[in-house]
Amino acid sequence: MLRVRKPLLTLGQEIEEIPTELRPFAAAEIAVRRNHGTIKIVLEGVILDGSVREMRAFLKDVASFRATNWSLQLEALRVISTKGLRVLVQFSRVLRARGYRLTIANLHSQVYTTLQELNLLQEFDWLD
């Protein structure tokens, strides 16, 4: 299993400048065996427009792995900008075009409310 964790910082920003619970991070756990694999993506902290480019690059790298089970955990994601949400929707659509689904397993209530208000809930699969 491969585990990757990356801060999503803008140029010149230092991680120590941001309170711990607000630090933007992306992580992935990748377990691929032959034609079957699982990838769990975790987003944390506050992802605003300045962090979206780094998040997009991270998701692009993760998407290069072939897996049949994709999950997204957002329980530690306090806030995400609409630009960041658009990137997540695009990522979900790319996976759907490949025949896979991006399932949201855990979600912070504020992010759920934002997805609901923007009518984006249908863009993802949901763990019951």
What is the CATH number for 16? 3.30.750.24
pLDDT tens readout for residues 81-128: 999 999 999 999 999 999 998 999 888 888 999 999 999 999 998 876
Q: Which residue has the higher pLDDT, 128 or 79?
A: 79
Q: Which residue has the higher pLDDT, 82 or 32?
A: 82
pLDDT at 50 over 80: yes
**Looking at the 3D structure of the chain, how many domains does it have?**
1
pLDDT at 44 over 70: yes
Query: Residue 102: CA atoms inside 13 Å, Cβ hemisphere, count?
Result: 23
Query: Please, where are the H alpha helices in 1-128?
Result: 49-63, 82-97, 109-117
- Average pLDDT on 61-80 reads 91
Task: For residue 104, give both structure tokens.
Answer: 């949201």
The parent domain of residue 91 ranges over 2-126
Which single residue is written with the structure tokens 């999950």? 71
